[in-house]
Amino acid sequence: MNKVAIITDSTAYIPEHVRKEKNIVMIPLNVIFGNETYKEEVELKKDGFYEMVGKGGNLPKTSQPSIGELADTLEALSKEYDEAVMITLSSGISGTYQSALSLADMVENIKFYVFDSEISCAPQAHYAYTAVDMANEGADGAQIMEKLNEIKSQGIPAYFVVNDLNHLHRGGRMNTAQLLVGNLLQIKPVLHFQDKKIVPFEKIRTKKKAIGRIHQLMEQSVRPDEKFHVSVIHAQREEEAREIAGEIQAKYPNASVAVDYFGPVIGTHLGEGSLGITWMKN
């Protein structure tokens, strides 16, 4: 039986104790303030990050993980594992997937698979949990990749709203036309991923209405008695996120509803006050 290690990057925002418990290896992306580079979730966690942003000064930038660190990690894993599957954030918003893929042909002592989640955050974590459960049940890398691709083809609904579209534009993850429409009409578009990239799903005027629209989309996608997992993700809006989570839980008693966070790298591009809702049925 092949032993398979599961790796994901930091933007899945899997809490450290869960990573330890499930044995998921994490490779951090970086946040850069001026001349200082921090590995998120290792050297800079969400609270410290939002505090630094709040103080003003240099606006943060981000960068993909060090390829050397990934190569060293694979080398170390090869002593214990035959294969590794890495789940990355969307290749449409970061070079992480391509860089990891370029290593796949070079590493010698371990078979390395890279899966492009085409999204990030809680849905990315969901792929990692599925992968680790399968690895524990004895599946090999190819079988895990097949299952992850099957889930991806069914789609994981994920919608989010930001307070200020300029962060996405400044980081090059939203084009100028989309920014101008948003700013001119003063709308809070509901955003989602399409073809690996972030695009407006619908133009809506207020954040409250945008959240209402996401509730409606959930209603169209799941039955009230269905068992599924929901994640309400926030950037420094824990109270609001908990309130939304409570409403969802009351409406769907069989759902498991979690409140998660947008950490430093994703927070750099979405900005404080962002909220996302995603749900996973498989």
Q: Which residues bind ligand MYR (CB under 6 A)?
A: 29, 62-64, 93-96, 119-121, 158, 160, 173, 265-266, 269-270, 276, 278
Residue 52 or 265 having the CB closest to ligand MYR: 265
Query: Nearest distance from residue 25's CB to ligand MYR, in Å?
Result: 19
Q: How far is CA 154 from the centre of its chain?
A: 18
Alpha carbons 13 and 26: distance in angstroms, whole number: 9
Q: Where are the beta strands (DSSP E) in 10-92?
A: 24-27, 30-33, 36-39, 61-63, 83-88
Query: Nearest distance from residue 71's CB to ligand MYR, in Å?
Result: 18
Query: Nearest distance from residue 156's CB to ligand MYR, in Å?
Result: 9
Query: Nearest distance from residue 119's CB to ligand MYR, in Å?
Result: 6
Query: Nearest distance from residue 111's CB to ligand MYR, in Å?
Result: 25
Residue 3 or 61 having the CB closest to ligand MYR: 61
Residue 136 or 216 having the CB closest to ligand MYR: 216
Other Cβ atoms within 10 Å of 258 Cβ, number: 14
Residue 19 or 167 having the CB closest to ligand MYR: 167
Alpha carbons 280 and 227: distance in angstroms, whole number: 10
Residue 13 or 252 having the CB closest to ligand MYR: 13
CA angle 114, 156, 215 (to 5 degrees): 155
Q: CA distances (Å), 115 to each of 15, 80, 214, 227, in order?
A: 21, 21, 27, 26
